[in-house]
Amino acid sequence: MELAMKLCQTYGPAGREDRVREMIRSEVEQKSTSVSTDRLGNLICHVQASERSQEAKKDSLMICAHMDEIGVIITHIDEKGFLRFTGVGGVRNAVLHQKVIFENGVIGTIGAETKPQTPKDLTLTNMFIDIGASSKQEAMGKVRVGDIAAFHQDAVMMENRLVTKALDDRIGCFCCIEALKRIRSPILDIYFVFTVQEEVGLRGARTGAYALAPTYALAVDVTATGDTPECARMDVALGKGVAVKVKDMMFIANPKVNDRLLMLAENNSIPYQLEVLERGTTDAAVVQLVREGVMSGVLSIPIRYLHSVSEMCDTRDVQATIDLLVHVCEQGPAMP
């Protein structure tokens, strides 16, 4: 999991994925038939079908995982050097006193107004970033309006559990990297697409899928769980295997693809669970609608404390996701 930890710790909020992309490129370049970056910033890794299947298979499979993470962007710098900000992606209000880091390495901490009329339930508009500056001029020597920061938190292994920021969706990227390395005889042309700007509107997946026009697609992303005290009811838990999505807010999985995923999991003793997510979605929501349509599914890694600086995953679920991805690539995403 060392690579997974490095990926999660790398700066890469939406629209600023360059460092993550280069780290992934260095891992996959030698194992790919070709590697390219499109205009929006997606990293596209082509793995050509094995010789024995060249004539039999004309279809292609797109497997996508997004590189970006949530972050914050400076909207104003006041006379005392404090930074006002808003979210880049779904930043929750429970970020008070968390650290952030800007692309140039400047670190700040999030504080909040203490005036009597400040609402008890704080919003981002009641918060600010303190970078240790004592004036606007000093602050502007370090950052400027429009600079984007990511959250800053160490990664910790707790036996078979990893706790860190940005598991959404660096752990999905990790699964794709490891699967790509393990594939021996791909049954069809596969395009691993590490997408940009998912957290602000599934943008990279849309342009990547339009260019590739795949027959099939799988998004590899994270999902919420229903296994913490008094949480919303949901039949997904840490440690019980890869979650095969049935539905979320914007996506209904193709039944033929899902039937194949379940069959491959059962035939290869891969633990899995079924996922119905009431809020949220993945890249698959836009991929399935490209051109004349793409037969799509989603493999999800269960995560506790989504969109926080201390997201938690189970390494057994990660391994199950990698194993199922490899079987899909070598045996096909739908029945022959």
- For 90-130, how does the pLDDT look when each residue is reduced to its tens digit (9 = 90+)? 998 778 889 999 999 999 999 998 877 777 778 898 899 99
- Residue 96 inside a domain? The answer is yes
What number is the average pLDDT over the span 207-220? Answer: 96
- Residue 157 inside a domain? The answer is no
- Are 234 and 293 members of one domain? yes
- Residue 109 inside a domain? The answer is yes
Comparison of pLDDT for 153 and 56, the residue scoring more: 153
What number is the average pLDDT over the span 42-55? Answer: 81
125, 151, 177 — which closes off a domain?
151
- Are 137 and 277 members of one domain? no
What number is the average pLDDT over the span 233-261? Answer: 96
- Are 312 and 193 members of one domain? yes
Q: What percent of the chain has pLDDT over 90?
A: 88
49-104: pLDDT as tens digits: 887 655 446 889 999 999 999 999 999 999 999 999 999 999 987 788 899 999 99
| Spatial CB neighbours of 327, under 8 Å, sequence gap ≥ 6 | 264, 268, 270
- Are 140 and 12 members of one domain? no
- Residue 126 inside a domain? The answer is yes
- Residue 160 inside a domain? The answer is no
101, 125, 151 — which closes off a domain?
151
Range of the domain at 77: 71-151
- Residue 156 inside a domain? The answer is no
- Which of 80, 67, 65 minimizes the C-alpha distance to 15? 67
The residue length of the chain stands at 336
- Are 145 and 290 members of one domain? no
- Residue 158 inside a domain? The answer is no
103, 121, 151 — which closes off a domain?
151
Q: Given this model, what pLDDT does residue 55 score?
A: 46
Pairing of strands 156-158, 311-314: unpaired
Looking at the DSSP assignment, which residues form a beta bridge with residue 64?
193, 219
Largest Cα span, the chain: 73
CATH of the domain at 212: 3.40.630.10
CA atoms within 13 Å, Cβ hemisphere of 72: 32
Rounded to whole angstroms, the Cα distance separating 47 from 293 reads 22
Q: Is the pLDDT of residue 214 over 90?
A: yes
Q: Give me the helix-helix angle, 2-9 and 18-28, nearest 10°.
A: 160
What number is the average pLDDT over the span 315-329? Answer: 98
- Are 316 and 238 members of one domain? yes
- Are 316 and 219 members of one domain? yes
Q: Judge whether 198 counts as a catalytic residue.
A: yes
Q: Give me the helix-helix angle, 315-331 and 167-182, nearest 10°.
A: 50
| Helix H or strand E segment including 195 | strand 189-195
Phi, psi of 144 (to 5 degrees): -145, 165
Give the pair of three-digit tokens for residue 215: 């027959």
- Residue 217 inside a domain? The answer is yes
- Are 323 and 188 members of one domain? yes
Q: Is the pLDDT of residue 264 over 90?
A: yes
The domain tally of the chain equals: 2
- Are 14 and 105 members of one domain? no
Confidence of residue 305 (pLDDT cuts 50, 70, 90): very high
Q: What percent of the chain has pLDDT over 70?
A: 98
| Identified catalytic residue from 198, 275, 311, 330 | 198
Confidence of residue 144 (pLDDT cuts 50, 70, 90): very high
The answer to whether 216 and 60 are in contact (CB under 8 A) is yes
Q: Given this model, what pLDDT does residue 94 score?
A: 75
